[in-house]
Amino acid sequence: MAFTFTFSTQIKPTPLPFLQYSTSSFHTSLVARNHVPLTFGAPVALFGNSCYFRQRFCGLKLWIFGKLNIERPQSKDGLGKEFKTIEIQGKDQTGGSFEEAKEPESQLDKYSSYQPVISEDPVASFELSSSSIQTNDGQGSRSPSLCIAVIGATGELARLKIFPALFALYYSGFLPEDVGIFGYSRKNLTDQDLRCIIESTLTCRIYHQQNCGDKMEAFLSKTYHLYGGSDNKKGMQNLNARMEKIEGKSEANRIFYLSVPQEALLDVSSSLADNAQSQKGWNRIIIEKPFGFDARSSYQLTQSLLSKFEEKQIYRIDHLLGRNLIENLTVLRFSNLVFEPLWSRAYIRNVQVILSEDWGVERRGRYFDGYGIIRDIVHSHILQTIALFAMEPPISLEDEDVRNEKVKVLKSIRNLELGDVALGQYKVSSAGKGHDVYLNNLTPTFFAAVLYIDNARWDGVPFLIKTGMGLIKHRVEIRIQFHDVPGNIYRERIGHNVDLATNELILRDVPDEAILVKVNNKIPGLGLQLDASELNLLYKDKYNVEVPDSYEHLLLDVIDGDNHLFMRSDELAAAWRILSPVLHEIDENKTAPELYEFGGRGPVGAYYLGAKHGVRWADD
């Protein structure tokens, strides 16, 4: 006997799975500068890292082609074919339609602006200028229709997440071929230095790996570095000038990713607004969390940003909101009749949002010690998840319609009180795990709370949230527990078995993305024995795709002008209203978190908190 349960879910129309592209070692060695014989039959040796060799080899090829007056053959990536029109239509300002030249373009034409340097040193004659940029002078390829600048380009976030996500989008065709990528930092680097830094982090998709080298070469050739120095005003002026040099007179749109510390955000954003915005298209800025330290500082930050930018230009990013689980919330609820009628206090007993990590805070260092887990995770990710889960059906899927419904939920949530909160901090175990030099005695690494939404749909339903580090298991999931069946005729068979008494819908992102429905059924055989079983949609078994990184998803949303997963200013203020009173009380009273073992289940206080509201943590 088999159960068949059909419902709609979301499959992202995103790129295919990753395959690590192996690059040469980056160990630097001195380049032989002695005279190299160029007579026929004589060997030529070049020493250096992969970037250096590529640079010189490309120069050699172009020099030979120029002497022989021939064109390079077209490569597999179809550069000789006609390009389709690429439209980037923003919601904040009308974008242009950018059409590629329909004349077949040879690879030699593509690199026509790169001229090998001829000197008395034959080796040096093959070297290309690392700062050369293709300009829109009416010849060669046209200027970029989109420029993306990563401010803080040498930081860990930029190297490990932002640049790989941009390359994945470019590789899969979600960025225009003539995109310009700019890295802005206070390190005095050349374009080639930046390319070598990020090259080892770039990966290619499995089903398109035959063009991996060509695509990576093309992406790196469109990546430039700009030295910002200590004066952001002058640095942004230089960035603008360099962007304009390759944009020419055509319409140009710009995205600025501000991967900078909070203390530098105001100066960078103000300098950017005054000196680096495009005057020939739309501009969008991406800001990393946390968005302030409390309600007051967040308000000041918001007012400063709104004095320079319009609301529709600001994208406050939280990478956890780019997970497939978040997007699937609305798909599952609003496209399946079996779930929508159940989505209220009439059928749902409680909702549990769980985000636990099995590693410590060493990856976040001093930043985490300054802001803590409440400001880092609860304020944006947890509250945004609850807002998407509990909101009323929007009138459309337009981003502002979705945001309007989210902010209604946030404004309906009661202010948190200290009695409805459990704080914890992991301690050093006997094995020595869990030690972190950045952590002080009052910084919580665990937070649990109970929230109530005071509206007609959710009145009296407890929303339990739990997030922590150094716990037994890495888990990200939402659990919906339903009421018991009234007058259940099988209650004698169920007895005190909680699992049999409770139906559950589980939306799991980690460890294995899945949708689970827990139901009661009869065990086959003689007699009547009941069992709680799970109807299981395991994504890795159903869909032969790998879910892309959340940064890819969110960056693509920014390019498309879709901001429904990004917090609006009123959402930001509503979230701080919920948390600020309890944060101030914790800080003023210097409330010490309860200690728990690293690798354990968290503080005992979390279990007392659940019992106080008549709820048992389902993940245990």
Joined tokens for residue 552: 């890819």
Number of H helices, E strands in the chain: 19, 19
Q: Is the pLDDT of residue 277 over 70?
A: yes
pLDDT of residue 72: 40
Task: Return mean pLDDT, the chain.
Answer: 78
pLDDT of residue 207: 57
Whether residue 342 sits in one domain with residue 229: no
Whether residue 386 sits in one domain with residue 277: no
Active site residue 381: yes
Does residue 367 lie within any of the structural domains?
A: yes
Whether residue 327 sits in one domain with residue 284: no
Residue 9 binned pLDDT confidence (cut-offs 50, 70, 90): low
Q: Is the pLDDT of residue 400 over 90?
A: yes
Of residues 225, 379, 381, 564, which has the active-site annotation?
Answer: 381
User: Tens digits of per-residue pLDDT, 479-488?
Assistant: 999 998 888 8
Does residue 32 lie within any of the structural domains?
A: yes
Does residue 294 lie within any of the structural domains?
A: no
Q: Is the pLDDT of residue 428 over 70?
A: no
Does residue 2 lie within any of the structural domains?
A: no
Does residue 587 lie within any of the structural domains?
A: yes
Does residue 313 lie within any of the structural domains?
A: no
Record the pTM.
0.77
Taking Cα atoms as reference points, which of 111, 112, 88, 113 lies closest to residue 99? 88
Whether residue 336 sits in one domain with residue 187: no
Residue 455 binned pLDDT confidence (cut-offs 50, 70, 90): very high
Whether residue 537 sits in one domain with residue 389: yes
Q: Residue 584's CB: how many other CB atoms inside 10 A?
A: 12
pLDDT of residue 108: 31
**Tokens 């034409």 label which residue?**
109
Whether residue 354 sits in one domain with residue 277: no
Whether residue 247 sits in one domain with residue 339: no
pLDDT of residue 364: 57
Residues across the chain: 620
Does residue 13 lie within any of the structural domains?
A: no
Domains held by the chain: number: 2
CA 261 to chain centre: 17
The pair phi, psi for residue 596, each rounded to 5°, is -145, 160
Whether residue 325 sits in one domain with residue 259: no
Whether residue 192 sits in one domain with residue 73: yes
Does residue 311 lie within any of the structural domains?
A: no
Q: Return the CATH number at 363.
A: 3.30.360.10
Quote the CA–CA distance of 248 and 245 in Å, as a whole number.
6
Identity of the highest mean pLDDT range in 31-35, 44-48, 124-128: 44-48
3-class secondary structure, 98: strand
Q: Return the CATH number at 155.
A: 3.40.50.720
Quote the CA–CA distance of 472 and 451 in Å, as a whole number.
25
Whole domain around residue 437: which residue ranges?
Answer: 320-547+562-612
CA angle (395 as vertex; 389, 398 as ends), nearest 5: 80
Whether residue 324 sits in one domain with residue 238: no
Give every CB contact of residue 357 below 8 A, 6+ residues apart in sequence.
Answer: 468, 469, 470, 471, 474
Quote the CA–CA distance of 606 and 612 in Å, as a whole number.
10
Give every CB contact of residue 596 below 8 A, 6+ residues apart in sequence.
Answer: 424, 425, 426, 427, 446, 470, 602, 603, 604
Whether residue 411 sits in one domain with residue 509: yes
Whether residue 375 sits in one domain with residue 257: no
3-class secondary structure, 58: helix
* Lowest mean per-residue pLDDT among 25-39, 244-258, 371-385: 25-39
